[in-house]
């Protein structure tokens, strides 16, 4: 986490289909947890989509509304496409469903990079075998709210798992 006086933050990328619904939610929720814990200089998080359909666009308005209802600000988000060349700079790549997981593992240049890929729901012990965060894009406002709830629980679980190691690195 640090090399001499240089801080090398732990780096995460959340990935969904088009980077306008689920992965921006995960990025914003996770970064909020990091900031609340006072660890912003030690962790970076971003999000991306498997596809390029929405590159440069804001998050879906229903995503922004769901986030705002719970006190999050998603206004600065702009969609981007995941690039396999990012793997060497990332410590963890978090897929929002198993389709993304397979795609990311397939695009990973090395076995070590493949091991960086995990499902977000795998961090939530209360998920009871639910591995995929459903895509709310073709659904209603209530589905966006339900998806955000799933992402909040799993993101908190992920943060709690990483926090001790991040704090240990921050104290070096």
Q: What is the pTM of this model?
A: 0.94
Terminal Cα-to-Cα distance of the chain (whole angstroms): 8
The pLDDT tens digits of the residues spanning 13-28 come to 999 999 999 999 999 9
Six token digits for residue 147: 């998806």
pLDDT category of residue 170 using cuts at 50, 70 and 90: low
> Quick check: 171 pLDDT over 60?
no
The pLDDT tens digits of the residues spanning 74-118 come to 999 999 999 999 999 999 999 999 999 999 999 999 999 999 999
Pair 11, 44: CB distance under 8 Å: yes
> Quick check: 2 pLDDT over 50?
no
Q: Which domains are present in the chain?
A: 2-165 (3.40.50.2300)
Closest CA to 171 of 46, 38, 44, 29: 38
Give the residue numbers marked as catalytic.
Answer: 16, 22, 135
């Amino acid at each position: 986490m640090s090399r001499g006086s240089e801080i090398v933050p732990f780096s995460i990328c959340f990935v969904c289909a088009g980077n306008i619904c689920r992965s921006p939610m995960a990025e914003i929720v996770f970064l909020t947890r990091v900031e609340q814990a006072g660890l912003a200089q030690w962790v970076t998080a971003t999000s991306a989509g498997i596809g390029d359909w929405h590159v440069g666009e804001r998050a879906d308005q229903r995503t922004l509304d769901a986030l705002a209802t719970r006190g999050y600000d998603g206004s600065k988000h702009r969609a981007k496409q995941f690039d396999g060349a990012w793997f060497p700079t990332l410590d963890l790549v978090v897929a929002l469903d198993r389709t993304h997981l397979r795609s990311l593992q397939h695009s990973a240049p090395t076995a070590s990079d493949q091991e960086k890929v995990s499902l977000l729901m795998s961090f939530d012990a209360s998920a009871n075998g639910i591995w995929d965060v459903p895509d709310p894009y073709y659904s209603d406002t209530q589905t966006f709210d339900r998806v955000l709830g799933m992402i909040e629980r799993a993101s908190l679980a992920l943060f709690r798992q990483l926090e001790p190691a991040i704090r240990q690195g921050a104290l070096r």
